[in-house]
Amino acid sequence: MLSSPTTPSSPGRGQRLAILVSGRGSNLVAIARACADEAWPAQIVAVIAHREDIGAVEQARQLGLPVRCVPLDKSLPREVQDERLLSAVRESRPDWVVLAGYMRILSAAFVAAFAGRLVNIHPSLLPAFPGLHTHRQALAAGVKLHGATVHLVTAELDRGPILGQAVVPVRIDDDEASLAARVLEQEHRLYPRVLRALVEGTLVVEDGRSRCPGSPADRDPLLLMPSCG
Ligand code: GRF
């Protein structure tokens, strides 16, 4: 049986995205630009960060998005910090929680609270190169193809069901920076597409595999392939 990966409120313009950030915010901007289109089925209701002094918060403010800062108090047990984050996110009543360059590992309780509605983008073709320094890992491994993956977040790091992937060629003269830039450009195409399919309910997950039932079997709209020419 096919099932939607989630049970948000009914698909439509009113779907609410809470975006968690901790970096420069370029994926946030890509998603916000997509949301600005009238035809887009969702809106960003909260951008949540642990610090004010990051690029993503500055970008969010420039875009007029509601920003909420939940500072990390390292003197508190991790579970307490995570409970604070969880209640801040819950207050925004999101249908979807979107990690856009969010660099902290979320607690099992947080992941469970938004199971099937928590989405991440990772800069590699998972399951290859989970964790950090993915472009360095790809260059060291000598792969010819690299890319980015949007996936549902589960308790196991970088292991949840894959929702979409963008592939880029690795060039012989690439270094980490050039490869990262090529991947990032594709991330900005991929993330809004996957989110739209999720929000509209045209993407389903079955036995840990995702697909778009309305699309031809040989043309997956959420597989972005390179031009190697
Ligand atoms: C992206 O490469 C994303 O895949 C990874 O962190 C980076 C965030 O970049 N999870 P930005 O903050 O969206 O510019």
* Rg of the chain on CA atoms, in Å: 17
Q: What is the mean pLDDT of residues 158-175?
A: 97
Instruction: Give the amino acid at 226.
Output: P
The alpha carbon of 2 and the centre of ligand 1 are apart by a number of angstroms equal to 31
Q: Is the minimum distance from the CB of 100 to ligand 1 under 6 angstroms?
A: yes
Among 89, 116, 91, 104, which Cα is nearest to 6's? 116
Q: How far is it, in rounded angstroms, from Cα 142 to Cα 195?
A: 31
Q: Residue 159's pLDDT is what?
A: 94
For residue 88, pLDDT over 70 is answered with yes
Q: How far is it, in rounded angstroms, from Cα 14 to Cα 184?
A: 28
- Among 6-10, 30-34, 161-165, which stretch is predicted with the lowest mean pLDDT? 6-10
The first and second tokens of residue 226, run together, are 């390179």
For residue 2, pLDDT over 80 is answered with no
Q: How far is it, in rounded angstroms, from Cα 171 to Cα 88?
A: 43
- pLDDT tens profile 176-227: 999 999 999 999 999 999 999 999 999 999 999 999 998 988 889 999 997 6
- pLDDT tens profile 94-118: 999 999 999 999 999 999 999 999 9
pLDDT band with cut points at 50, 70 and 90 for residue 4: very low
Q: What is the mean pLDDT of residues 155-170?
A: 96
Query: What is the atom index within ligand 1 of the atom nearest the CA of 29?
Result: 13
- pLDDT tens profile 22-39: 999 999 999 999 999 888
The alpha carbon of 145 and the centre of ligand 1 are apart by a number of angstroms equal to 19
The alpha carbon of 101 and the centre of ligand 1 are apart by a number of angstroms equal to 4
Instruction: Give the amino acid at 91.
Output: E
Q: Residue 38's pLDDT is what?
A: 83
Q: Is the minimum distance from the CB of 187 to ligand 1 under 6 angstroms?
A: yes
Q: What is the mean pLDDT of residues 111-132?
A: 97
Q: Residue 99's pLDDT is what?
A: 98
Q: What is the mean pLDDT of residues 76-90?
A: 93
Q: Is the pTM of this model over 0.75?
A: yes
Catalytic option among 122, 135, 146, 188: 122
Query: What is the atom index within ligand 1 of the atom nearest the CA of 183?
Result: 2
Q: Residue 183's pLDDT is what?
A: 98
Q: Three-state SS across the chain?
A: CCECCCCCCCCCCCEEEEEECCCCCHHHHHHHHHHHCCCCCEEEEEEEECCCCCHHHHHHHHCCCCEEECCCCCCCCHHHHHHHHHHHHHHCCCCEEEECCCCCCCCHHHHHHCCCCEEEEECCCCCCCCCCCHHHHHHHHCCCEEEEEEEECCCCCCCCCEEEEEEEECCCCCCHHHHHHHHHHHHHHHHHHHHHHHHHCCCEEECCEEECCCCCCCCCCCEECCCCC
In this structure, how many other beta carbons lie within 10 angstroms of the beta carbon of residue 205?
A: 20
Q: Is the minimum distance from the CB of 194 to ligand 1 under 6 angstroms?
A: no
Q: Residue 227's pLDDT is what?
A: 63
Q: Is the minimum distance from the CB of 56 to ligand 1 under 6 angstroms?
A: yes
Residue 122: active-site member: yes
Q: Is the minimum distance from the CB of 147 to ligand 1 under 6 angstroms?
A: no
The alpha carbon of 80 and the centre of ligand 1 are apart by a number of angstroms equal to 26
Query: What is the atom index within ligand 1 of the atom nearest the CA of 30?
Result: 13
Q: Is the minimum distance from the CB of 123 to ligand 1 under 6 angstroms?
A: yes
Among 65, 96, 69, which Cα is nearest to 84's? 69
